[in-house]
């Protein structure tokens, strides 16, 4: 019964959510787009000519936003390169190169290397989150593991002036993740966009400019 009530409450909140309505109106696939939009507008992350990798990109709202920011070329197309990676399939987005697979696997990384042609990446985005169990210690370990993967990926592929934006959760293990970012990046800021639900402990960490570029 409690679960039913929870589902009804969630559906009610979701249907009446202004960000959900705005996403539907503007043609975005998820309300999560407004989290990236707010952070980008504050931090000026996305610029023409960049190579941007969107980890865990499905359903694709972040890639849609990036594509819109890089659009405006005469005759269509975009000024830049967008690569989305996800284990799950994604409906195509114009001008976005999508690779389905696990980015820890050599075959997936080989496809990425083909697309970047030896160039380093300007920005790595990760809205990835694990399935949470409700057990704080176990969930903290899962979140940290996913962020470690994104961080390792960024350290291997970012240019020295590059940036990494990841979804995190403010709770157990957060300070350890923050320390890892401070160890690798010259500038580290945390962001709680307005589109993050009030009840959620979700927070975004942004690291800019590598301390020890490869």
Catalytic residue numbers read: 167
Question: How buried is residue 74: exposed, middle or buried, by Cβ count under 10 Å (0-12/13-18/19+)?
Answer: exposed
CA distance 100 to 58: 10
Enumerate the known binding-site residues: 60, 62, 86, 102, 127
Enumerate the known binding-site residues for S-adenosyl-L-methionine: 60, 62, 86, 102, 127
Question: How buried is residue 17: exposed, middle or buried, by Cβ count under 10 Å (0-12/13-18/19+)?
Answer: middle
CA dihedral 209, 141, 4, 34 (to 10 degrees): 0
């Amino acid at each position: 019964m409690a679960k039913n009530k929870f589902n009804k409450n969630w559906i009610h909140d979701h249907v009446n959510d202004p960000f959900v309505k705005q996403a539907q109106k503007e043609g975005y696939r998820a309300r999560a787009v407004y989290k990236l939009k707010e952070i980008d507008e504050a931090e000026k992350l996305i610029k023409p000519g960049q190579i941007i990798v969107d980890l865990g990109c499905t359903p694709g709202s972040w890639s849609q936003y990036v594509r819109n920011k890089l659009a405006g070329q005469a005759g269509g197309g975009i000024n830049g390169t967008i690569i989305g990676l996800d284990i799950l399939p994604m409906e195509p987005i114009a001008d976005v190169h999508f690779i389905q697979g696990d980015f820890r696997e050599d075959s997936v990384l080989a496809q990425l290397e083909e697309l970047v042609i030896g160039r380093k990446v300007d920005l790595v985005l990760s809205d990835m989150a694990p399935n949470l169990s409700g057990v704080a210690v176990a969930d903290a370990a899962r979140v940290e593991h996913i962020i470690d993967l994104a961080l390792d990926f960024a350290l291997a592929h970012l240019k020295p002036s590059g940036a990494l934006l990841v979804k995190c959760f403010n709770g157990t293990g957060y300070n350890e993740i923050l320390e890892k970012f401070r160890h690798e990046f010259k500038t580290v800021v945390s962001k709680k966009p307005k589109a993050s639900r009030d009840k959620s402990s979700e927070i975004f960490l942004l690291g800019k400019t590598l301390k020890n570029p490869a």
